[in-house]
Every structure is written in structure tokens, then in C-alpha cells.
Structure 1
């Protein structure tokens, strides 16, 4: 499999080679085209502008993973974006010149009635679908071909900037691995790497570090022969905590790495990037809450508003006014907080991951600045959101 991180292209730091990477650029001038989009939307001069928004189309899921990072709900309890909400999102994304959007859930494919219109709506405004995440629920023999046909008709393959990525998530999910294998096989035999990229997100339990990816490979090879390692990208993580630093490669659960060490190893997530990732990013929850980072456990301090009640341009401006976020952006990652948060705290406090350290740093930053604790973005009831959207459309 192609390891995550094999090809990373950062604006202003070398040549961009088309069709390389998990989020492969389609054009060598991808950053120039993105800049033109932002300029046309009047977003020049801002330090933080998301190149991608991770969009939660539904909270419904057919599965029930104990460690679900998105907090998905059973089918009977979850909520899916309404047509009015989808229309509002497309308008707001277009208003800031957003280059790409990723669609996640819940499980997007239990909401096909919303998924394909959303893809069509985004592509109709020139917004690329950079990633579509799924647990493989549609991999049964009678559904697989038909679902690919619907995605193609909706415009998934019509991106202009990056090759779309189909992300298959395995781990605690209970979908039959032969279904996931069927989706992979269909994708690589029907589409080239210039049309569609495939990735497997394999998440292991911290207790034993076993990844289900190996079971998936075995299932694929039983049905179709050699696994297509040259076409499938990998994202291998441990539940709840990333496994990226040397001192974490142990049998026990991570959690004793200092915050200072995490800061020094942090990737510059605010540098415009394609290839391995698409950054900077944002997370948009199904109910409209918007965060200036797309990690599942994003700190509440990076929440800047609700897109269904506040224009996205205003939310972006709020994010750029955040001193905490500015320090990270200007410093090339969490290392930018050295000096802004006491060394006594960063060297003596430990945690299990980059996101954990960001949350701790945010709280400590506010404490040392004498600022009040972060107030989480309010969850607005669905009926209230519908009423507000109806009133704003008049």
C-alpha cells in the first residue's frame, strides 16, 4: 500500500507534480488556481483560509463503533442535512471561494438521497469533492455497481483541482470485509488513478495494536488475487491517539509524551498543502457548528460559529482574529506557542497526541492570558435551524 505522506506539496516550497499523493493535484498550477478563487471572493490577506471543509452530511450510521470519533448515532436517531441546509452550505462555500469539500458522517451512504444532490450542488459551483468517507455499507454485490453509477452521474469524478478520494474505513466497523474488498476491486478496475484514488483508514485498538487492514487484504486476495498495493493509500492510526512519535511505538497506550515534544513535532497544518493532506482544513458538523481544524477531537477553542446562523465569511474573519490561532499559523504549527505558554507547563504536562496537546495548550493559553474559559458552540435544535433558514430565504 502507498503510505500516507509519500507525496506532499506545499505552496511556495517546490514543484507540484500532478497525480501524485493521496489527495493528488490534477494540475501543476493548483495553488495559483486556488489563489484566484480566494481573490475573486475577496479573501486575500487572510492568514487562515480553509482549502477544505470536512462536512458531516448526516449523523446517521448503520454501525455502532465504540470509539467513533464523529459521535455517529443509530439510524433512527441521527439527522441528515435537509435540502434547505444543503443549499445554504453550497451558497456559503461558494461565497468564500472554497476550493474543496470532503463528505463524511455518520455514514454518508445511508443518506444517498442527500449525498448525490450535495455532490452535484458542490460541483455545480466548481467546488471539488476531495474525499468521500464510507464504512462500505454499499459493497454488497447488488449495490456496488449501481452506487458507483450514481456517484459518477452526480459528478464525483469531475474535479478540477484534485483527484477525488474514496476513503474506506475499517477497524471497529462490522461491515463484511468482502464488501469493502468488492468496492476496492470495482474502483481500481473501472477507474484509473487519474480519475479516482482509493484509501483505507485502518484504526487499531490501543490494547493490541492490531489493524484490520491485514484481514481486508486477505479477504481481497481470496476473491480477486493480488491486493493492489500500488493503488490503495493507507491511513493507519490507533484509536483516540495518533501513533507518530518514536517514544509511542510501545505495546502500552500512549500518554506520556510531553506537550513540548508534541509541539516540536507538529506539522504546519496552516500551510497551503495538497498531496498527503489538503490543508488548512475545517470541520463542519451536521448542525452547522464550524471549527478551524478537521480533527475529530478538535478543541472547542477552535469553534467560531454556526454556518446556519452566521455568514461563513464572518466566521472566517473571527478565526483570523484569534490570537491563539494566529500564533499557530505564524509559527508553523503548535511550535508557534513556545513563549506564549509557559515552558514549565509544556515540559511537565504529558498527553497522548497532537490534538490532546492543542486542547491543553488552548486552555493554558487562556488561563495565562486571564481570559475566560472557552464556551462550547451551542447546539441549535433542528426545528430552530429550519425556522431560521426559512426566514433567511424570504
Structure 2
């Protein structure tokens, strides 16, 4: 499998080589094209301008993974974005010149009636769909080929900037591995790596550190022959907190690494980046809450408003005015917080990863600077949200 971390291209550094990396660019001048989009939208000079927003189209899921990072809900309890909400999203994305969006859930393909129109609407505004995350629920024999045909018709393969990626999760999910293997096989036999990328996200068992990816490979090879290692990207290490730095404990997953060490080795997630990642990024929850980071368990302090009530431009402006984010952006990562957060805290406090460090640092930064504690973004009731959307639409017309 293609190891994550290869082929990272950062604006202003080495030239971009198209069609390389998990989030491959389709053109060498991608950063110049994106900059022109931002300038036309009036975002020139802003430090935080997301190259991609991760969108939770639904909270419904047909599975119930114990370690779900998105807080997915059972089918009877989850909520899917309405047509009005999706239309508002597309307008808001267009208003800031957003280059790309990723779609997650819940399980996006549970809400296929909403997913396909959203893809079509985004592509109609020139916004790429860079990633679709799924547990493979659509991999049954009678559904797989039909769903790929729907994706083609919706315009997924018409991206102009990024090769679209289908991310298949096989960690704690209970979808048959035969279904996941069928999706992989169809992807690599019907599309080139200039048309589609595929990746497998494999969550390790905390006790044994075993990955289900090896079971998937066995299932695939029994059905289709040799596994396409040269086409499938791996995201296994994302879940192995301690493996991302040298000299870490191998059998003890909970982090014993100081916040300071994580800070010193943090990369600049605000530098425009393609290939391994698409950065800067952001997250939009199903109810419209927007966060200036798309990681699991995003600190509430990185939430800057609701896209359905505040508007995306206002939210981006708030993020750019945030002192905590500005220090990280100007400092090239969490290392920019040295001096702003006491050394005795960063040296004595331990955690399991970069993102956990960010949450701890955010809270400590606000405390030492006598700032108000972050207030979780309000969850606006569905009826109230829809009422506001209808009023906004009426005023706009």
C-alpha cells in the first residue's frame, strides 16, 4: 500500500507534481489557481483560508463504532441536511472561492438522496469534491456498480483541481470486508489514478495493535487476485499516536509524550498544502457549526460560528482574528505557542498526539491570558434553523 506522507507539496517550496499523493493535484499551478480564486472572492492576505472544508452531510449511520470520532447516531436518531441547507452551503462555499469540499458523516451513502445532488451542485459552481469517506455500505453486489454510475452522473470525476478520493474505513466497522473489497476492485479496474484515488483507513486494536487491513487484503486476494498495493493509499498511522515520533512506547498507546515534544515536531497546518493532505482545512457539522480544523475531537475554542446563521465569510474573518490561531499560523505550527504558554506546563503535561496537544494548549492559552473559557457553539434546533434559512432566502430573493 502507498504509505501516507509521500508526495507532500507546500506552496512556495518544491514545485507541485500532478497526480501524486493521496490528495493528488491535477495541475502543477494549483496554488496559483487557488490564489486567484481567493483574490476574486476578496480573501487576499488572510492567513486562514481553507483549501477544503469537511462536511458532515448526515449524522445517521448504519454502524455503531465504539471509537467513532464524529459522534454518528443510529439511523432513527440521526439527521441529514435538508435541500435548503445544502443550497445555502453551496452559496456560502462559492462566496469565499472555496476550492474543494470533503463529505463525511455519519455514513454519507446512507444519505445518498442528499449526497448525489450535493456533489452535482458543488461541481456546478466549480468546487471539487476531494474526498468521500464511507464504511462501504454500498459495496453489496447489486449496489456497487450502480453507485459508481451515480457518482459519475453527479460529476465526481469532473474535478478540475484534485483527483477525487474514496476513503474506506475498516476499523471497528461491521460492513462485510467482501463489500469493501468489491468497491476497491471496481475503483482500480475501472478508473486510473488520474481519475480516482482510493484509501483504506484501518484502526488498530489497542491491545494487539492488529489492523483489519490485513484481513481485507486476504479477502480481496481470494476474490480478485493480487491486492493493488500500488493504487491503495494507507492511513493506518493516523490512529497510532505514539508511532508518529521516534522512540515512543510500542505497546502503550496512551501518550506519555510531553506537549512540548509534540509542539516541537508539529507541522504548519496553515501552509497551503496538497498531496498528503489538503490544508488549511475546516469542519462543518450537520447543524452548521464551523471549526477551523477538521481533526477528530476538534477543540471547541476552534469553533467560530454557524454557517447557516453567521455566514461563512464572517466565520473565516473571525478565525483570522483569533490570537491563538494567528500564533500557530505565524509560528509554523504549535511551536508558535512557545512563550505564549508556560514551559512548565508544556514540559510537565503529556498526551497522545498533536491534536490532543492542541486542545490542551488552547485551554491553557486562554487561561494564562485571562481570556474567557471557550463556549461550545450552540446547537440550533432544526425547526429554528430552517425558519432562519427560509427568512434569509426570502430576503435574498
Q: 1:341, 1:365 within 8 Å by CA — same for their partners in 2?
A: yes
Preserved CA contact (<8 Å) 2:242 2:255:
no
Q: Determine helix, strand or coil for the equivalent of 1:189.
A: helix
Give matches, 1:336-347, under 5 Å: 336-347=336-347
Partner of 1:65: 65
Which residue matches 1:393? 393
Alignment of 1:337-376 (within 5 A): 337-376=337-376
What's 1:134 paired with?
A: 134
- 1:157 aligns to what SS in structure 2? helix
Alignment deviations for residues 114-159 of structure 1 (CA, whole Å, 9 cap, x no partner): 0000000100000000000100000000000000000000000000
1:249 CA displacement: 4.5
Report the equivalent of 1:53: 53
| 2:222 equivalent in structure 1 | 222
Mapped contact 1:67–1:240 kept (Cα < 8 A): no
C-alpha contact (below 8 Å) 2:240/2:253 kept by paired residues:
no
Number of residue pairs the alignment of both structures matches: 394
2: CA distance, partners of 1:59 / 1:109: 11
Cross-structure match for 1:280: 280
Q: Which residue of 1 aligns with 2:310?
A: 310
Within 5 Å, give how 1:1-394 maps onto structure 2: 1-237=1-237, 239=239, 241=241, 243-394=243-394
* Deviation at residue 204 of structure 1 after TM alignment: 1.0
Q: In structure 2, do the counterparts of structure 1 residues 79 and 22 end up closer, same or farther at CA, with 3 Å as the change threshold?
A: same
- Provide the C-alpha distance between the structure 2 equivalents of 1:240 and 1:382, rounded to a whole number of angstroms: 37
Q: Displacement, 1:205?
A: 2.4
Whole-angstrom distance in 2 between the partners of 1:387 and 1:47? 34
| CA distance in 2 between partners of 1:248 and 1:170 (Å) | 25
Secondary structure, aligned partner of 1:122: helix
**Shift in Å at residue 242 of structure 1?**
6.2
For structure 2, the residue ranges without an aligned partner over 5 or more in a row are: none
Q: In 2, Cα distance between the equivalents of 1:243 and 1:170?
A: 20
Contact preservation (8 Å) 1:258, 1:349: yes
TM-score scaled by length of structure 1: 0.99
**Superposed displacement of residue 239, structure 1:** 5.0
Separation of aligned partners in 2, 1:205 and 1:113: 34
C-alpha separation in 2, matches of 1:208 and 1:215: 14
Shift of 1:210: 1.0
Question: Are the equivalent residues in 2 in contact too, given 1:259–1:346 (CA < 8 A)?
Answer: yes
Alpha-carbon separation, structure 1, partners of 2:65 and 2:242? 18
Cα RMSD after superposing both structures: 1.0
Deviating beyond 2 angstroms after TM superposition, the runs of 4 or more aligned structure 1 residues are: 237-243, 246-249
Deviates more, 1:238-247 or 1:23-32: 238-247
